[in-house]
Structure 1
Amino acid sequence: MKKIFYPVLLLALTACKGNQQTTDTESVTVPVSEVAADTTAQPEVDAITSATSKPNQVSFNGRIVLPPQRQATIALTMGGVVKNTSLLPGQYVSKNAVIATLENPEFITLQQTYLDSHAQTEYLQAEFERQKNLSAEQAASQKKYQQSKADYLSMKSRQDAAAAQLSLLGISPETLLKDGIQPLLEVRTPISGYAANVAMNVGKYINPGEALCEIIDKSTPILCLTTYEKDLADMQTGSPVQFRVNGMGKQTFHGTVVSIGQKVDETNRSLEVYASIKETNPQFRPGMYVTAHIQKH
């Protein structure tokens, strides 16, 4: 009896164990159709930016910038020592406002050159007209007529050159004739806006062409977004844009694509896309980072 009992018991235990494994396997089996459904429900992931987006949107990073005509670097063709300035970074200034005065003896010499050449030009012009009339009546030699003409034109070109240099410094020749020589060169703003990168102080010598400061006009900022080659097929000017600004919570702003870069960066294969901003906000600052979604077409 023992020789028959043990094999039967071993067979029963093996059968029970097999049933248990089958049960465990069936309890973790998931239909293939359900797995496929879960996979297609996931959002798209950008392999380069690691950003996710909906199937009909593309997500990009970027920053707020200003159009070139909305920012100005103030520099002069003539250097000098800063005599006076009250400009502070972040201060708002109006167009044509005086933000500093410079002291330079060459500025005084340039004004004197213009005034002298202007006076000489008037005299030589009158002499040229007199010799011209005499020459027409054959009462004077052609040599005197030609000499008077040369003297007049030479002095007039000297006057025009001095006037052009004064205009580059923002000085009107008519104002100089009216008010006389000014001892200090006034630095004026070409646009209205906020002062930034102020690099001057009283007593500092400013070289010709050196920037004194920048003026930024924040009234019409734009977006500069970084995109990639693979996104160009679904992008065009006029595409709607939604974006959020770092530091401003979940507030959403809107814009429109206005320009798409035509040159791809050789290092990271990216290019820049510019978008206008519909809503204006006083908290916008050039350089602030944004996350944007561009609607596909």
Structure 2
Amino acid sequence: MKKIIITLVVLAAAGVGIAKVLSDNKAENQARIDVVSKVSGVVPVKTFSVHKESIQLDFLANGNFVPNQDLKFMSETAGRITAILVKEGSRVQTGQTLARIEDKYLTLDVQSAKDSYEKIKSDKARFESSLKTGGVTQSQVDDISLQLRNAELRLEQAEKRLGDAVIKAPISGVINKKHIELGAYVSPGTALFDIVDVSSLKLVVAVDEKRVVLLKTGSQVEIKVPVFPDKTFTGTISFIAAKADNSLNFPVEIKVNNAKGEAVKAGMYANAMFRFNQEAPVLAIPRSAFVGSVNSREVYVLQPNNTAAIRKVVPGSVFGETVEILNGLEEGDKVIISGQINLSDGTAVEVVQN
């Protein structure tokens, strides 16, 4: 029992000692806080001296080449392939015969449709002759005329199917892939050939909204292809999208002449350099000078008495991290570019090394 009491007394004494140490530490920390509080009204900041500078408008965009035309050619009729006249890699011209489909029954259909048409045509002539003598009525003549028009349409359809049995290239280009084999049966919609026109290529790049407004169709663009480091190609802007994609960039197409079809190939990666004439220097400040964002149109300006004054400005064009200022600042003003989160209008500041 005595041992327990002694132990409790010792622990109580120790607790008093610990409490005193904590109390002393708290007092010391509070003293430090008080010291900091006394000088906390002066906020360290970095500044930027407003001046005119020439804005660099040139920019680089990356993309891949796509062919001028990339066509998956489908069959328009049904039948068995009896001849294939080209192979993968063959260059073809518009109208060139690529393959043939068995046309025996298609020819018979044409002949049948033609015989029917000729018979109805003769019947119509007899009906019109009989109408003059009263042998038939006008209604009968009208009916035979309708039958003749229908027979003519059936003949045209049969001739179209027969013509489709001779598969001809709809565009000029290269047979990039052959989907059929000799003896295969095809139906309307069956893939026959992939034809790629690489006589000219299109470099497709994505340009953000700040830069797309600088572009115009017809402008010349310098193009570098990494696989040809010693060559420089020239293209022409042929298309600028009117609507941004999901990443808020605008697709831009640059047409490159590739008549020889050997150097640049579809799918290759390339860099497009958009160059612009040097413009007159403009008043500009860093984007970081704005309170929150450029849309706030507010910056802090360092006053002669080392205080920060909020000021409304009118921003112009944005060039990366540089923002043109149209109104609200003058050359020589010092804007605060760091520490704004701790500022309010009239706060005392201390400029640290920029």
Question: What TM-score do the two structures reach when normalised by structure 1?
Answer: 0.66
Asked if residue 272 in structure 1 is aligned to residue 251 in structure 2, the reply is yes
Aligned 8 A contact 1:95 1:189 in 2: yes
Asked if residue 95 in structure 1 is aligned to residue 94 in structure 2, the reply is yes
**Distance across 2 between alignment mates of 1:265 and 1:231:** 15
**Distance across 1 between alignment mates of 2:202 and 2:173:** 16
Residue number among 218, 242, 250 corresponding to 2:198 in the alignment? 218
* Gap runs ≥5 in structure 2: 1-48, 278-354
User: 1:224 Cα deviation (Å)?
Assistant: 1.4
Task: Report the counterpart of residue 15 of structure 1 in structure 2.
Answer: none
SS of residue matched to 2:89: coil
Aligned 8 A contact 1:199 1:211 in 2: yes
Amino acid at match of 1:124: I
User: 1:144 Cα deviation (Å)?
Assistant: 4.9
Asked if residue 242 in structure 1 is aligned to residue 241 in structure 2, the reply is no
**Distance across 1 between alignment mates of 2:214 and 2:185:** 53
Task: Report the counterpart of residue 294 of structure 1 in structure 2.
Answer: 274
* Gap runs ≥5 in structure 1: 1-35, 42-53, 170-184
Task: Report the counterpart of residue 135 of structure 1 in structure 2.
Answer: 131
**Distance across 2 between alignment mates of 1:195 and 1:240:** 31
SS of residue matched to 1:110: helix
Task: Report the counterpart of residue 182 of structure 1 in structure 2.
Answer: none
Matches of residues 105-120 of structure 1 in structure 2 within 5 Å?
Answer: 107-120=103-116
Matches of residues 12-27 of structure 1 in structure 2 within 5 Å?
Answer: none
SS of residue matched to 1:115: helix
User: 1:64 Cα deviation (Å)?
Assistant: 1.6
Aligned 8 A contact 2:199 2:258 in 1: no
Question: What TM-score do the two structures reach when normalised by structure 2?
Answer: 0.56
Q: For the structure 1 residues 280 and 296, does the alpha-carbon distance in structure 2 shift closer, same or farther, using more than 3 Å as the test? A: farther
Task: Report the counterpart of residue 61 of structure 1 in structure 2.
Answer: 62
Asked if residue 195 in structure 1 is aligned to residue 196 in structure 2, the reply is no
Identity across aligned pairs (percent)?
21
Task: Report the counterpart of residue 322 of structure 2 in structure 1.
Answer: none
* Structure possessing the higher radius of gyration over alpha carbons: 2
Task: Report the counterpart of residue 78 of structure 2 in structure 1.
Answer: 79
SS of residue matched to 2:199: coil
User: 1:193 Cα deviation (Å)?
Assistant: 2.1
SS of residue matched to 1:197: strand
User: 1:108 Cα deviation (Å)?
Assistant: 3.6
User: 1:147 Cα deviation (Å)?
Assistant: 4.8
Higher helix proportion (structure 1 or 2): 1
**Distance across 2 between alignment mates of 1:264 and 1:121:** 56
Amino acid at match of 2:212: L
Aligned 8 A contact 1:239 1:296 in 2: no
Amino acid at match of 1:210: T
User: 1:101 Cα deviation (Å)?
Assistant: 2.9
**Distance across 2 between alignment mates of 1:145 and 1:208:** 38
**Distance across 2 between alignment mates of 1:117 and 1:217:** 38
Amino acid at match of 1:152: L
Task: Report the counterpart of residue 288 of structure 2 in structure 1.
Answer: none
Asked if residue 231 in structure 1 is aligned to residue 227 in structure 2, the reply is no
Aligned 8 A contact 2:224 2:231 in 1: yes
Deviates more, 1:240-249 or 1:194-203: 194-203
User: 1:146 Cα deviation (Å)?
Assistant: 4.5
**Distance across 2 between alignment mates of 1:226 and 1:131:** 69
- 1:3-60 per-residue CA deviation (whole Å, 9 max, x = no partner) reads xxxxxxxxxxxxxxxxxxxxxxxxxxxxxxxxx9xxx99xxxxxxxxxxxx9231100
Task: Report the counterpart of residue 5 of structure 1 in structure 2.
Answer: none
Aligned 8 A contact 1:72 1:190 in 2: no
User: 1:102 Cα deviation (Å)?
Assistant: 3.1
Q: For the structure 1 residues 120 and 82, does the alpha-carbon distance in structure 2 shift closer, same or farther, using more than 3 Å as the test? A: closer
Asked if residue 148 in structure 1 is aligned to residue 144 in structure 2, the reply is yes
User: 1:280 Cα deviation (Å)?
Assistant: 5.0
Q: CA RMSD in A?
A: 3.0
- 1:182-236 per-residue CA deviation (whole Å, 9 max, x = no partner) reads xxx3322223321102222234443421221122222222221222222223222
**Distance across 2 between alignment mates of 1:246 and 1:204:** 43
